[in-house]
Amino acid sequence: MPAPCVVWFRNDLRLDDNPALTAAARSGAPLIALYVLDDESAGDWRMGSASRWWLHHSLESLARDLARLGATLILRRGRAEFVLENIVAQTGAGAVYWNRLYEPWAMRRDGEIKASLRARGLAVESFNGALLFEPAQMRNKQGEVFKVFSPFWRACLATGGPEAPLPAPESFVAAPAPESDALDDWRLLPSKPDWAGGLRETWRPGEARARARLAEFAKSGVADYKVARDFMAEESTSRLSPHLHFGEVSPRRVWAEIIAAAGEAGLPFLREIGWREFCHHLLVANHDMPDSALDARFNDFPWRHDEGALKAWQKGLTGYPVVDAAMRELWITGWMHNRARMVAASFLIKHLLLPWQEGERWFWDTLVDADLANNSGGWQWVAGCGADAAPYFRVFNPVLQGEKFDPDGDYVRRYVPELAKVGAKWIHRPWEAPADVLRSAGVTLGKTYPLPIVDHAKARARALAAFEEMRT
């Protein structure tokens, strides 16, 4: 019997369209399925609390799926290079397969692991299981990384689309399983206080739910996506982002099913998959993107330090209902509607003049779909300091954004119950409501719901002045 091969699972917690798993199954070698929790290598960007909750349940799901094919998912915690050395020594493995990660720390680590294992005589292969196209594949006419999204997206479409997704292996030979950690011993779930109730009500991690959600959206949601996606109270987005981040469904599978269901009508949604792709390509080319502005001028921006304002934003107590609803949705569900993300991020950066990195860190800990490329790319876009960024002088008016994209106030009422009885006319500007309206709604500003912590017009003027100061 040939020496066993190791399939090192990472952010590819699925059987379908998993190139590393497929290659291992086709090799005919007995298979060892391994997941390594490597917090040490990740450093400052180890998974946040909400992501760890998701990971626990996603690993449970993957273990069940592998068990149906006769394999055990081996769990080990520690530096990946040491874990792999130990697994190889224990099992006599002759090959290691994995799908690539694109975080800077992971790329450095994986390159070193690949060289070390190959020097010891093992066959080591890595694959693209996370993106539509490899970053090195997409270049502009000058052979450089795209810095603007629209031409990047046109170049993606000009390829005719990504490769077809691979079917899940129907069978493989499982090697005897080495010793494994117990998932519960990793303590990925909260203990006391148990803050994950809203996550449990909102999400079902795992490949089966990811595929079901994709099928539902392809059938009944994608046709209206272009118009409906901005309305925060509506269930009009795919909510695939955490499933994509953890690799419970591949972007190639998403592409294939959306095109099959909707044809060109699916392109507005696939454009959002393209933005995910763009952010990953930017991260590969700019390893300091999570910490430093791509536009170096912003290194001299006169940011403020205001712990009280930051806490008010984090807790959804800014006095601007749509911002507060967004931040409470995040805390309760581990997710936030994309329009709300833009409004909440703009408020932190431009109304409060707080560094975009503060928001990035908060999202990293609280989002179930926290993704280093998307998170840093999105925050830099709003701040005006990233690639193809919204100009800094574009300041979202949270009142107008609420009135336009939550016209009946249902989104605010869902997450800011203090304002549940305020009518649509005043719900996005309660400080302007007549006293009798507030009294009949049971609202006492400054007590049951805060007054605005900044004035929009003054905050906008302050932000524009700070931008001018940076430019001079």
pLDDT of residue 470: 87
Helices (H), 221-290: 225-228, 241-245, 251-262, 267-285
Q: Check whether residue 359 and residue 304 sit in a common domain.
A: yes
- Per annotation, catalytic residue among 272, 331, 397, 403: 272
Instruction: Write down which residue in 243, 260, 285 finishes a domain.
Output: 285
338 labelled catalytic: yes
What length is written for the chain? 472
pLDDT of residue 81: 97
What's the start-to-end Cα distance of the chain, in Å?
A: 71
Distance CA 320, CA 352 (A): 13
Closest CA relative to residue 289, chosen from 191, 387, 156: 387
Instruction: Write down which residue in 227, 251, 285 finishes a domain.
Output: 285
Q: Is residue 178 part of a domain?
A: no
Q: Check whether residue 9 and residue 34 sit in a common domain.
A: yes
- Per annotation, catalytic residue among 186, 195, 303, 431: 303
Distance CA 274, CA 267 (A): 10
Q: Is residue 55 part of a domain?
A: yes
Q: Check whether residue 308 and residue 235 sit in a common domain.
A: no
Closest CA relative to residue 5, chosen from 74, 85, 91, 73: 91
Q: Is residue 66 part of a domain?
A: yes
- Per annotation, catalytic residue among 379, 381, 418, 426: 379
pLDDT of residue 391: 79
| 112-121 own/partner pairs: CB under 8 Å, 24+ apart | 112/81, 113/80, 113/81, 113/84, 116/81, 117/84, 117/88, 120/88
Q: Check whether residue 315 and residue 268 sit in a common domain.
A: no
Q: Is residue 174 part of a domain?
A: no
pLDDT of residue 46: 96
CA distances from 39 to 15, 36, 277, 414, 457 (A): 24, 9, 25, 36, 44
Q: Check whether residue 235 and residue 122 sit in a common domain.
A: no
275 labelled catalytic: yes
Distance CA 235, CA 221 (A): 9
Q: In what order do the strands lie in the sheet with 95-99?
A: 73-77, 31-37, 5-9, 95-99, 123-127
- Per annotation, catalytic residue among 275, 335, 381, 426: 275
331 labelled catalytic: no
Instruction: Write down which residue in 129, 150, 175 finishes a domain.
Output: 129
Task: Say if residues 350 and 323 touch (Cβ distance below 8 Å).
Answer: no
Tell me if residue 24 falls in helix, strand or coil: helix
| Digitized pLDDT (tens) for each residue of the chain, 472 residues in all | 799 999 999 999 999 999 999 999 999 999 999 999 999 999 999 999 999 999 999 999 999 999 999 999 999 999 999 999 999 999 999 999 999 999 999 999 999 999 999 999 999 999 999 999 999 899 998 989 999 999 999 999 999 999 999 999 999 999 999 999 999 999 999 988 899 999 999 999 999 999 999 999 999 999 999 999 999 999 999 999 999 999 999 999 999 999 999 999 999 999 999 999 999 999 999 999 999 999 999 988 999 999 999 999 999 999 999 999 999 999 999 999 999 999 999 999 999 999 999 999 999 999 999 999 999 999 999 999 998 777 777 899 999 999 999 999 999 999 999 999 999 999 999 999 999 999 999 999 999 999 999 999 999 999 999 998 887 7
Instruction: Name the β-bridge partners of 74.
Output: 34
- Per annotation, catalytic residue among 53, 356, 362, 364: 356
Closest CA relative to residue 281, chosen from 104, 461, 134: 134
- Per annotation, catalytic residue among 81, 105, 338, 431: 338
Here the tokens at position 266 are 């699916």
Q: Is residue 172 part of a domain?
A: no
362 labelled catalytic: no
What backbone torsions phi and psi does residue 370 show, to the nearest 5 degrees?
Answer: -55, 120
User: Cis ω on the peptide bond leading into residue 193 (within 30° of 0)?
Assistant: yes
Give 7's DSSP letter.
Answer: E
Q: Is residue 186 part of a domain?
A: no
Give residue 234's domain range.
Answer: 131-164+206-285
Domain count, the chain: 3
356 labelled catalytic: yes
Tell me if residue 168 falls in helix, strand or coil: coil
Give 72's DSSP letter.
Answer: -
Q: Check whether residue 20 and residue 90 sit in a common domain.
A: yes
Q: Is residue 48 part of a domain?
A: yes
450: left (phi over 0), alpha (psi -120 to 50) or beta: beta
Q: Check whether residue 255 and residue 382 sit in a common domain.
A: no
CA angle 103, 106, 108 (to 5 degrees): 110
